[in-house]
């Protein structure tokens, strides 16, 4: 069996489970988003910012955090009393749909307005794996340089929203914002782009608004 | 066949080729290093700095650059007139030994003091794949945060040298240098650590010295 065939089979098995997850989310009117970035681009920092804001808005959510080995990011959510499920992928560089299905076994999906997946820090394979989410979101950091969209186009193609984080560092790094945005739009003309700083809080409100625009708000269960 | 068995078979096929490459390097007295980091941590910037310095020292080298699709990094080497071979991995998130063997087909290995591999930007899978190199080198950026060694321990375990890049950003980012170094040493007590800024040039000379200490210098062919 060639590597190509092996990979096709792995993706096919994944997609069957992803389909089942998507059907369940549709049935329960629960939105699922899948946030993809390099290590250290700011996925967890973003969740630390929006988590308390979503709570304040009365939005019901749960965060699924993917990490190879540790539970460091999940502990950061715990410290803020945010609802979190840890997914350890071991030596695997991405979350697959099977892991999502398993992690949702003890979650009351019907009670959630949104399920937020923080993928493993990696711009390559996470873009290939359908987790049954409604939307993939690509997150970049200005510190990584402005050529990352061009170098990792698949994650842009697959995403509906691109977040450019760490704009507070713009004056200290080589990053041409216009070039970066043009590259992103060139790969995916329909994608929305948000500039953000999880450090200063700039742009966070726009992402919370994006979430509010995309969920189907449910009444809280009593 | 389970995924675990499939992966074991892929790694076994890889390791057979890696062994062949390592034997050839030993025979030709050519050092091979394999630089691994996240996207945008500064692998290419590092090569832009050391390339001209190695040339000036009369060290013969060739750079093998791994990228999923583009040749952007190789073009940056070309612009500096540095000897480079482009390796495109497609949707694969790492270079494997088979790709290295193929890329060396047209290279006169016996003429090189050192072969420098720049892996695909990814901290997970590249750590698992033996390319027949003598040494793996892990490169981190301060902008990624100080917890990346703990979150991606395999690359630290497998490396002899850890480079902490972008120290010029230290005052603008949350990065505890002592914590980072302690984490690295905790995972691999024998690893050497270099602080660096590819922007200001700080620490670059130490890496060039490290290379000089590790190669077997050859007479230039006339």
Tell me, letter by letter, the H, E, C secondary structure of chain B. CCHHHHHHHHHHHHHHHHHHHHHHHHHHCCEEEEEEECCCCCHHHHHHHHHHHHHHCCCCEEEEEEECCCCHHHHHHHHCCCCEEEEECCCCCCCCHHHHHHHCCCCCHHHCCEEEEECCCCCCHHHCCCCCCCEEEEEEEHHHCCCHHHHCHHHHHHEEEEEEECHHHHHHCCCCHHHHHHHHHHHCCCCEEEECCCCCCCCHHHHHHHHHHHCCCCCCCC
Kindly list the domain boundaries of chain B, sorted by start residue: 2-214
pLDDT digits (tens, 9 = 90+) for B181-191: 999 999 999 99
pLDDT at residue B3 in the model: 67
pLDDT at residue B221 in the model: 54
Structural contact between residues B95 and B121, judged by C-beta atoms closer than 8 angstroms: no
- Interchain CB distance below 8 Å, A143 and B147: no
Give the whole-angstrom CA distance, residue A138 versus residue A147.
14
Predicted ipTM > 0.90 = yes
| Residue contacts between A and B (CB atoms, under 8 Å) | 110
C-alpha distance from B42 to closest chain A C-alpha (Å): 8
∠ CA B190-B118-B130, rounded to 5°: 60
Neighbours of A202 (CB within 10 A): 13
Give the whole-angstrom CA distance, residue B206 versus residue B202.
9
**Chain B residues with CB-CB distance to A145 below 8 A:** 40
pLDDT digits (tens, 9 = 90+) for B53-74: 999 999 999 999 999 989 999 9
Question: Taking residues B202-215, what's their average pLDDT?
Answer: 98
- Interchain CB distance below 8 Å, A151 and B122: no
Q: Does A145 touch chain B (CB under 8 A)?
A: yes
pLDDT at residue B217 in the model: 78
Chain B, residues 21-50, CB within 8 A of chain A, namely: 38-41
Q: Per CATH, is B2-214 categorized as 3.40.50.300?
A: yes
Residue B89 CA, chain-centre distance (Å), reads 16
pLDDT at residue A187 in the model: 98
> Per DSSP, which regions of chain A are E strands?
31-37, 61-67, 84-88, 114-118, 135-141, 159-165, 192-195
Q: Does A150 touch chain B (CB under 8 A)?
A: yes
Give the whole-angstrom CA distance, residue B205 versus residue B67.
27
The pLDDT of residue A5 is above 80: no
Q: What is the DSSP letter of A124?
A: S
Which chain B residue is nearest to residue A6, measuring alpha carbons?
B6
Structural contact between residues B162 and B193, judged by C-beta atoms closer than 8 angstroms: yes
- Interchain CB distance below 8 Å, B72 and A3: no
Radius of gyration, alpha carbons of chain A: 17
pLDDT digits (tens, 9 = 90+) for A121-159: 999 999 999 999 999 999 999 999 999 999 999 999 999
- Interchain CB distance below 8 Å, B121 and A123: yes
Q: Does A220 touch chain B (CB under 8 A)?
A: no
Chain A, residues 188-207, CB within 8 A of chain B, namely: none
């Amino acid at each position: 069996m060639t590597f190509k065939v092996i990979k096709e089979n792995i993706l096919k098995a994944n997609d069957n489970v992803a389909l089942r997850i998507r059907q369940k989310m549709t049935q329960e009117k629960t939105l699922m988003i899948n946030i993809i970035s390099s290590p250290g681009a700011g996925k967890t920092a973003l969740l630390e910012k929006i988590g308390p804001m979503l709570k304040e808005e009365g939005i019901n959510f749960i965060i699924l955090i993917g990490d190879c080995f540790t539970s460091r990011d999940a502990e950061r959510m715990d410290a803020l009393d945010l609802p979190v499920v840890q997914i350890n992928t071991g030596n695997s560089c991405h979350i697959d749909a099977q892991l999502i299905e398993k992690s949702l076994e003890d979650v009351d999906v019907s009670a959630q307005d949104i399920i937020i997946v923080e993928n493993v820090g990696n711009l390559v394979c996470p873009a290939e794996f359908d987790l049954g989410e409604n939307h993939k979101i690509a997150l970049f950091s200005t510190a990584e340089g402005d050529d990352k969209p061009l170098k990792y186009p698949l994650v842009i193609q697959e995403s509906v929203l691109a977040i450019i984080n760490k704009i507070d560092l713009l004056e200290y790094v080589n990053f041409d914002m216009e070039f970066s945005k043009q590259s992103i739009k060139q790969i995916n003309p329909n994608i929305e782009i948000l500039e953000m700083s999880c450090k200063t809080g700039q742009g966070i409100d726009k992402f919370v608004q994006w979430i509010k625009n995309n969920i189907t708000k449910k009444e809280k269960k009593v």
